[in-house]
Structure 1
Amino acid sequence: MTPDQLTQAIVNGVNAGGEQFLEGTLAAALPIIWLVILGLHLARPYILDMIDRFTLRLGADLLWLVYIALRDLLIISGVIMSFMFFFPDVVTTDQLPLTGGLAAVCLFGALLIKLIGDPDHNLRDFRLTTLLLAVGAAFYFIPYVLGVQSNSVVSGTLANISSFLVTSSNPHWAVGLGYVSVALLAILGAIAAGYSLKTGGRANETAISESSSSTK
């Protein structure tokens, strides 16, 4: 082996190891991100109750701003971290939840509702956001728990089901669902882009009036 070939082999090994480390870190962090997202979303009544107890208006406003900023930032982070489910070489190599891409689509759908509507004041938008987060969590945690985490501890029929729910042991379904997720994400992205261009980045007056009427 020539020095150039040795150097190239070392560089390829370092790149492959770094890629595996990054993907493994994202896969390990996503369940925590999902749990925190669900916890913050379901904690909204508690936050509102805490705000009502504040005697200083500034403190209440700061608490609400921190809450919604952290909640929405984690949803955005979850979508970005889930992009690895859209790459065929990643899902066929790593042990990932089979429907993780669909879970990312549900997260992006929740962001779209926050863009078009107002889940914090409109009950219909809040219920729709809750439904999307619940479906997305099911898409992620069911194959993660029954597939990725149980793949090496079950046997028989359960082992076949567990292997089916893992992307690396079920590459055909993994790649197919990845393409479906990309198509759905593209549709939602086109809707978001069209809405932003139509409204010029400003809130929809219809949504504002509906929110005001529902608040009253």
Structure 2
Amino acid sequence: MTPDQLTTAIVNGVNAGGEQFLEGTLAATLPIIWLAILGLHLGRPYILDMIDRFTLRLGADLLWLIYIALRDILIISGVIMSFMFLFPDVVTTDQLPLTGGLAAVCLFAVLLIKLMGDPDHNLRDFRLTTYLLGLGALFYFVPYVIGVQANAVTSGTIGDISKFLVTSSNTSWAIGIGYVTIVLLAIMGAIAAGYTLRTGGLAEAATETPDASAKK
């Protein structure tokens, strides 16, 4: 082997190892991100109760800002980290949850609702985000637990179901779901961009009621 061939082999090995390390890290971190998102969302009543106990308004405001910032940053991180489900070479090589891309769609839909609505003050929007987070959790954790984690210890019919829920052993479905995910994300991204351009990045003014107009 010539020095150039040896150098090329070392570089390729380092690149491949780095790629596998990154993909493995993302795959291991996403379940933690999902659990943290669900915990913060479902723990909202506890945060509100803690805010009511504050005697200083500044402390209550800081707690609320930290809470919503951490919650929304985790949702954004979950969407970004889920982009690996969109690459066919990744889903066909690594053992990932089959419907992980659809879980990312649910997270992006939550962000879209937060952009166009106000889940923290509107009950309908809050319920909708709750349903989407629950659906996304099902899309992620069902194939993750039954497929990825149970794949090595199951056999027979359960083993077949387990293999079906893993991307590397069900590449045709994994790639198809990846393309569906791309289309859904593109549609919601276009909606978000159109809404932002239409409103100028500002919240839309509340529509006046007939009674309010009459009082003027």
By how many angstroms is 1:207 displaced?
Answer: 8.2
Q: Which runs of 4+ in 1 moved over 4 A?
A: none
- Mapped to 1, the partners of 2:165 and 2:41 lie a distance apart of 27
The match for 2:161 is 161
- Give the aligned residue type for 1:113: I
- Mapped to 2, the partners of 1:101 and 1:160 lie a distance apart of 21
Listed one character per residue, the Cα deviations across residues 113-133 of structure 1 (whole Å, up to 9, x for unaligned) are: 000000000000000000110
By how many angstroms is 1:206 displaced?
Answer: 3.2
The match for 2:37 is 37
Contact 1:116 1:207 in 2 (8 A): no
Q: Does 1:47 align with 2:47?
A: yes
Structure 1 stretches lacking a partner, 5+ long: 210-216
By how many angstroms is 1:204 displaced?
Answer: 1.5
Tell me the SS of whatever aligns to 2:30.
Answer: helix
TM-score (norm 1): 0.95
Contact 1:38 1:133 in 2 (8 A): yes
- Give the aligned residue type for 2:196: S
- Give the aligned residue type for 2:147: G
- Mapped to 2, the partners of 1:195 and 1:21 lie a distance apart of 38
Listed one character per residue, the Cα deviations across residues 91-143 of structure 1 (whole Å, up to 9, x for unaligned) are: 00000000000000000000000000000000000000001100000000000
The match for 1:115 is 115
TM-score (norm 2): 0.95
The verdict on how the C-alpha distance between 1:134 and 1:207 changes in structure 2, with shifts beyond 3 A counting, is farther
- Mapped to 2, the partners of 1:207 and 1:35 lie a distance apart of 38
Tell me the SS of whatever aligns to 2:136.
Answer: helix
- Mapped to 1, the partners of 2:83 and 2:9 lie a distance apart of 28
C-alpha RMSD over aligned residues: 1.2
Aligned residue pairs total 209
Tell me the SS of whatever aligns to 1:205.
Answer: coil
The match for 1:150 is 150
Contact 1:102 1:139 in 2 (8 A): yes
Percent of pairs with identical residues: 81
Listed one character per residue, the Cα deviations across residues 158-197 of structure 1 (whole Å, up to 9, x for unaligned) are: 0000000000000000000000000000000000000000
- Mapped to 1, the partners of 2:183 and 2:122 lie a distance apart of 29
Matches within 5 A, 1:73-152: 73-152=73-152
Q: Does 1:24 align with 2:11?
A: no
- Mapped to 1, the partners of 2:208 and 2:176 lie a distance apart of 40
The verdict on how the C-alpha distance between 1:150 and 1:208 changes in structure 2, with shifts beyond 3 A counting, is farther
The match for 2:213 is none
The match for 1:214 is none
- Mapped to 1, the partners of 2:190 and 2:151 lie a distance apart of 37
Matches within 5 A, 1:168-183: 168-183=168-183
Structure 2 stretches lacking a partner, 5+ long: 210-216
